[in-house]
């Protein structure tokens, strides 16, 4: 009788635990019921990275996939469309390491490792990363700071080095490889900081992967000094502990440029305009309380310029067709937090004096 009760009690306990697991979002197979993570596993390419779009449509991980759709997506895993553009691959790695942290589902950790290995493979010997890998058509092979692509990668690798944000689970081997990769990445950043009249300034959004010279990307993204991408680069350099003299020099030079290039007393705002196809426009207006920066500055003159799909630089945003005028971030407040808070804090933390 005692043995029967023990068996019955064990069965009851197992049934209770299984029911509890299901209620907590786990299947009977121990897999985390995280549909976003599951979809990320489906979309991961065979060589480790993730696409940002498939068949012209942005990948939406919140969309419910049928078994047939999931099988079809996995069957396309050899497609060479993985990228670091628009947070692709970086976003998935960051999400999946958190999913593993909460579920302990080894599949998620394996996907993270495969994704990080992809980042290692995609890095050029000179330290930069292309926008796409292995595909390199058109500007996709260029070293890409645009939209913080390369900086998103470096922040993940630095997390691995520091054991931060859940990446301590990757262990010492990944930490060592990440440290070497970050070192080469920083070297690339320092080599690509643009020098004008003998002085360091900031960075272009993309560079030729062989010559490390500033390069053009899309029709409206010409060679220029970037008021946006240079912020992410500077913030990453400021993240580094015990910065080298070269890193300190680079940060200080960038801050000088941010100060020099700010536009005070103006703003870039949306306005209603029924004459336009979408019923709105975006205009450059006077605003005494505003300080902004342009997205693109001419390297030689340091004057802002703007470009439509005709690839011809314009002096004012009003000269650009309305579709591009309202559909691109031509002005922004990107460097404001660096100047107001982050740079003073960085100087104090590293016992440095401003130039």
Provide the annotated active-site residues.
Answer: 86, 218
Angle between helices 149-162 and 90-103 (to 10 degrees): 30
Strand pairing class (263-272; 306-307): unpaired
DSSP state of 7: H
The alpha-helical segments, DSSP class H, found in 24-89 are 35-43, 67-75
DSSP state of 45: -
Alpha carbons within 13 angstroms on the beta-carbon side of residue 324 total 20
CA 300/CA 201 separation, integer angstroms: 11
CA 302/CA 185 separation, integer angstroms: 26
- The length of the chain is 355
CA 63/CA 118 separation, integer angstroms: 25
Note whether 306 and 320 are within 8 A (CB). yes
Residue of 154, 244, 253, 265 lying closest to 201 (CA atoms): 253
Note whether 237 and 243 are within 8 A (CB). yes
């Amino acid at each position: 009788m005692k043995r029967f009760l023990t068996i019955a009690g064990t069965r009851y306990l197992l049934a209770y635990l299984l029911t509890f697991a299901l209620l907590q979002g786990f299947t009977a197979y121990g897999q985390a019921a995280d549909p976003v993570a599951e979809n990320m596993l489906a979309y991961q390419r065979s060589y480790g990275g993730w696409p940002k779009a498939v068949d012209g449509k942005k990948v939406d991980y919140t969309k419910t996939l049928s078994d047939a759709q999931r099988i079809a997506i996995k069957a396309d895993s050899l497609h060479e469309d993985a990228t670091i553009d628009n947070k692709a691959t970086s976003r998935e790695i960051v999400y999946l390491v958190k999913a593993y942290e909460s579920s302990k589902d080894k599949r998620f950790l394996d996907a993270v490792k495969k994704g990080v290995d992809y980042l290692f493979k995609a890095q050029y010997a000179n330290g930069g990363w292309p926008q796409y890998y292995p595909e390199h058509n058109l500007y996709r092979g260029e070293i890409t700071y645009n939209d913080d692509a390369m900086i998103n990668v470096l922040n993940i690798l630095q997390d691995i080095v520091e054991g931060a944000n859940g990446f301590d689970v990757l262990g010492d081997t990944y930490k060592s490889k990440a440290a070497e990769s970050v070192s080469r990445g920083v070297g690339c950043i320092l080599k690509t900081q643009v020098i004008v009249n003998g002085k360091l300034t900031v960075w272009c959004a993309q560079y030729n992967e062989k010559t490390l010279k500033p390069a053009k990307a899309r029709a409206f993204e010409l060679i220029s000094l970037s008021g946006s991408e240079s912020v992410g680069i500077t913030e990453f350099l400021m993240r580094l502990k015990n910065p080298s003299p070269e890193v300190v020099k680079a940060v200080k030079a960038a801050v000088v440029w941010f100060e020099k290039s700010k536009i005070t007393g103006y703003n870039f705002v949306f306005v209603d305009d029924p004459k336009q196809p979408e019923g709105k426009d975006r205009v450059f207006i006077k605003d005494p309380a505003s300080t902004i920066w342009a997205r693109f500055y001419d390297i030689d003159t340091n004057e802002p310029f703007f470009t439509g799909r005709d690839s011809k630089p314009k002096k004012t945003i009003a000269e650009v067709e309305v579709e591009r005028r309202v559909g691109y971030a031509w002005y922004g407040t990107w460097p404001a937090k660096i100047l107001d808070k982050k740079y003073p804090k960085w100087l104090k933390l590293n016992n440095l004096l401003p130039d």
